[in-house]
Structure 1
Amino acid sequence: MSPVWHLCWRSIANRRLSVGLTVVAVALAVAMLIGVERLRTEARHAFARTISGTDLIVGARGGPVQLLLYSVFHMGDATNNMSWQSLQQIAALPQVNWVVPVSLGDSHRGFRVLGTTSAFFERYRYAEDETIAFAAGRSFSAAPEGIFEAVVGAEVAARFGYAEGQRIVLSHGSGGGVSFSDHADKPFTIVGVLKRTGTPVDRTVLVSLEGIEAIHVDWQAGAPIPGVHIAPEQVRKFDIAPKTVTAALIGLKNRVTVFRVQRQINTFAAEPLTAILPGATLQELWSLVGVAEQALLAVSALVVVVGLAGLVAVMVASLGERRRELAILRALGAGPRQILALLMLESMSLAVAGIFIGLVVVNVGTAALSPWLAAEYGLHVGVSWPSTAELGLLGAVLAASVLASVVPGVRAYRYSLADGMTIRI
């Protein structure tokens, strides 16, 4: 062991209590920085994986981000619907493999209601081509048998304790806890509960398109028709085929043709429509909402700065106790470089120890919390070696610790030999 290393180790051992607290502060700061970075990265990936396997999303003419928000995230409302006839024409295009219509507009106790077909449970993909799975029950049946059947997402079921066989009432309105009127005369029976996906599907009640039409059969212009009441058992006598839908998810036979089909839909002659690529629009949306993740990372960086400031404070405060030690070293011939090297080595040692302990804390916490994060939020954060981005952050922490040692190093050298050897009373 070199003399500098020996002096560094002995000095740290002599101040083990204050040094230990400093290492703990640095470790917690590093753990927070790396933990936030991993959550931030996984959140971005999970956001991008909200929908996969869908080549195009089609809706009424409007902005791409707005279409994505209401069709996938069920946020906001469409400015207009698209006709069923137009949807059928799009489905008949030779390049189109499948079409899943979605209809929004109603809610249940603050959660959105999604009208669709049973194909939604087969075609909707999320994460790495994951399919929707049932925790209990089944999909709603095709009309007319399954008109008043519903499937609830995992969060809806958990919030209200729903299970198969329970009856629920839908409300007219887009959710958010506010509705115009309840469709209490036409309740739905829960026939299935979905497993948690970490997507907006968890916060959705799914029914058939015919079910959406059925509860509005005695409504007109968004309000009940005065004096008209049609009982559920009489609904099947009326035409409850869907007339319009909010949007549609489209899968193509060959993704090479995606831009050609998009152009065909955007120039559709029957009515003005918009077709978007989900992946590209998700990235555009993330550029708008990703400011929050950057702010969170900035807060973590500030925590690291505070930890390193504590490291500097401890080293500067300890100089008063080490005046005689440093003066003896200088009397023995230690120059500015040796004094500075000693303090830099101590600072780096504390930073390396803090980084190591911080990584251990992050991985232990990840191992303990990853099942819960995956189940509750769909975030698949696993135990792993630091990524390239994380290594860059750790390198920055180490470099900052070296720079932090310059302040006590310069201060220590400025102590004169006579001042260090003088006994203070």
Structure 2
Amino acid sequence: MNALFRIALASAWNRRSALLLMALSIALSAFLLLGVSRVREAAHESFSASVSGTDLIVGARGSGLSLMLYTVFHIGDATQNIDWKSARWLAAHPAVAWALPVSLGDSHRGFPVLATEADYFKRFRYGADMSLRIVEGRAFDEVFDVTLGAEVAKKLGYRLGDRVVLTHGSGLDGGIEHADKPFAVSGILAATGTPVDRTLFISLAGMEAIHLDWQAGAPVAGMSIGAQFVKKFDLTPRNVTGVLVGLRSRAHVFAMQREIAAYREEPLMGVMPGVALDQLWQVAQGGERALLLVSLAVAAVGLAGLVATLLAGLDARRRELAILRSVGAGPRRMVLLLLIEGLGVTAFGILLGWVSLCGVLALAGDALQAGWGIALQPFVPGLAQWWLIAGLLAAGLLASLLPAWRAYRLSLADGLLPRI
């Protein structure tokens, strides 16, 4: 058997140029398959960690997915707000460690505006329990301060102190601007790769201030309260979109859910972010499956090339195989020789693909984390990746069967007699 391996190695080295091209083709297949598999896992992890450390998201009773989309991803519209008294009840509950009320509805040049308390920047977590970080300035502490997400500041070119005019509604349908009450940029957040990057943050008092002279979603005719006068009014919000809740003990999450559902003052619901995010991920799986299918197609092309190369090489190796037969190597050994070569090229290609992938991730991992919120670093293959590797090896073995079968059928005379 050792002699057979040495012969296979010597034969492969003699044809190293062609086999190296095939190994590169298989390496590309392995690179894509393992890469897509790892991206799928990391994207799922990052998607599920868009908000972490929050035990419940409380809002008006309705669709839990809609509440999650609106309060975390800032997509869609809230069907109904909840009373400020309900938010205060949650904050004062003995099982609650902290409660962050959030209010949405306005925008700025297509980016959503989220009104909340300054504790949001201390309490909100994403990814692997990572906290928000302000890289320039400070969090809002005045009525007309605004703190910008990284993408907002970058795309719109804002600096500290710049004036920002908010728009009522999403702004996509030509909403009315709050031009009489501009905000000043007080701080800019570090990139997180989450919806935070696309959000402008103001205080709840600021949200109330710009709507003092509004009623039922429209400005009151003939009424205008200037920015210099807003502090004379009570800026306590009357209602909010929802409340992010952190419990003293996660063991109480189901009991708290039941208590919220039984709240008598108004119909409420408490959604566990992890459960809702998993449901959302099921909706988004079509794209990742398409990527996997493309990778499998590339792998099939690479393996087809392996078959073609081995078959094409048989003609050039007829005399070599015949000489091996003449010195006592039987047909089965010829088959085994071809299988060893095919499996060796496949294994080398897979190893090369994995090493290349780890190299790319080592160089681009931080940029992917900042830009896309996907934590990708060099990795040791997990169970899912080992199944893919086993599948590639099995496919490489099967791809070698046809050339091996042809080598088995070659007669001794066929290789030794000159071809006319």
Q: Which amino acid aligns with 2:117?
A: T
Q: Deviations over 1:229-250 (max 9, x none)?
A: 2211122233332111111101
Q: Deviations over 1:333-389 (max 9, x none)?
A: 433311110001101111121122112211111111112112222222222332233
SS at structure 2 position matched to 1:181: coil
Distance 2:116 2:334 in 1: 73
Whether contact under 8 Å (2:105, 2:169) holds in the other structure is: yes
TM-score (norm 2): 0.95
Query: Which residue of 1 is the match for residue 143 of structure 2?
Result: 147
Whether contact under 8 Å (2:332, 2:408) holds in the other structure is: no
Distance 2:296 2:254 in 1: 42
Query: Which residue of 2 is the match for residue 213 of structure 1?
Result: 208
Whether contact under 8 Å (2:342, 2:400) holds in the other structure is: yes
SS at structure 1 position matched to 2:357: helix
Q: Which amino acid aligns with 1:339?
A: M
Distance 1:419 1:247 in 2: 82
Equivalent residue for 1:359, pick from 338, 354, 365: 354
Query: Which residue of 2 is the match for residue 115 of structure 1?
Result: 115
How far residue 93 of structure 1 moved from its aligned partner, in angstroms, is: 2.2
Equivalent residue for 1:348, pick from 343, 348, 358: 343
Distance 1:407 1:68 in 2: 54
Query: Which residue of 2 is the match for residue 162 of structure 1?
Result: 158
Query: Which residue of 2 is the match for residue 74 of structure 1?
Result: 74
Percentage identity across aligned positions? 48
Whether contact under 8 Å (1:12, 1:19) holds in the other structure is: yes
Query: Which residue of 2 is the match for residue 174 of structure 1?
Result: 170
Equivalent residue for 1:258, pick from 231, 238, 253: 253
SS at structure 2 position matched to 1:371: helix
Q: Deviations over 1:294-341 (max 9, x none)?
A: 332232222222211111111112122222322333344433311110
Distance 2:132 2:2 in 1: 62
Q: Which amino acid aligns with 1:104?
A: L
Distance 2:328 2:399 in 1: 25
SS at structure 2 position matched to 1:99: strand
Structure 1 window deviating more from structure 2 (192-201 vs 333-342): it is 333-342
Distance 1:208 1:345 in 2: 68
TM-score (norm 1): 0.94
SS at structure 1 position matched to 2:98: strand
Structure 1 window deviating more from structure 2 (243-252 vs 92-101): it is 92-101
Query: Which residue of 2 is the match for residue 26 of structure 1?
Result: 26
How far residue 25 of structure 1 moved from its aligned partner, in angstroms, is: 0.8
Structure 1 window deviating more from structure 2 (108-117 vs 388-397): it is 388-397
Distance 2:248 2:20 in 1: 62
SS at structure 1 position matched to 2:337: helix
Equivalent residue for 2:287, pick from 281, 285, 292: 292
Q: Which amino acid aligns with 1:375?
A: A
Q: Which amino acid aligns with 1:330?
A: R
How far residue 42 of structure 1 moved from its aligned partner, in angstroms, is: 1.3
Query: Which residue of 1 is the match for residue 129 of structure 2?
Result: 129
How far residue 178 of structure 1 moved from its aligned partner, in angstroms, is: 4.1
Query: Which residue of 2 is the match for residue 55 of structure 1?
Result: 55
Distance 1:288 1:267 in 2: 30
Query: Which residue of 1 is the match for residue 266 of structure 2?
Result: 271
How far residue 226 of structure 1 moved from its aligned partner, in angstroms, is: 2.5
Distance 1:253 1:349 in 2: 56
How far residue 195 of structure 1 moved from its aligned partner, in angstroms, is: 0.9
> Counterparts in 2 of 1:228-377, with a 5 A limit?
228-377=223-372
Q: Deviations over 1:19-50 (max 9, x none)?
A: 11111111121112222222221111111111
Whether contact under 8 Å (2:122, 2:131) holds in the other structure is: yes
Structure 1 window deviating more from structure 2 (4-13 vs 165-174): it is 4-13
Distance 2:177 2:281 in 1: 35
Distance 2:284 2:374 in 1: 18
Whether contact under 8 Å (1:343, 1:409) holds in the other structure is: yes
Query: Which residue of 2 is the match for residue 39 of structure 1?
Result: 39
Distance 2:338 2:160 in 1: 68
Q: Which amino acid aligns with 2:288?
A: E
Whether contact under 8 Å (1:77, 1:174) holds in the other structure is: no
How far residue 105 of structure 1 moved from its aligned partner, in angstroms, is: 0.6
Q: Which amino acid aligns with 2:82?
A: M
Distance 1:294 1:57 in 2: 30
Distance 1:419 1:260 in 2: 81
Q: Which amino acid aligns with 1:380?
A: A
Alpha carbons of structure 1 residues 371 and 90: separation in structure 2 relative to 1, 3 Å: closer
Equivalent residue for 1:185, pick from 161, 180, 189: 180
Q: Which amino acid aligns with 2:166?
A: L
Distance 1:48 1:191 in 2: 30
SS at structure 2 position matched to 1:54: coil
Distance 1:56 1:168 in 2: 32
Distance 1:88 1:3 in 2: 80
SS at structure 1 position matched to 2:375: coil
* Over 4 Å off, 4+ runs: none
Whether contact under 8 Å (1:104, 1:174) holds in the other structure is: no
SS at structure 1 position matched to 2:316: coil
Whether contact under 8 Å (1:172, 1:179) holds in the other structure is: no
Query: Which residue of 1 is the match for residue 389 of structure 2?
Result: 394
How far residue 217 of structure 1 moved from its aligned partner, in angstroms, is: 1.6
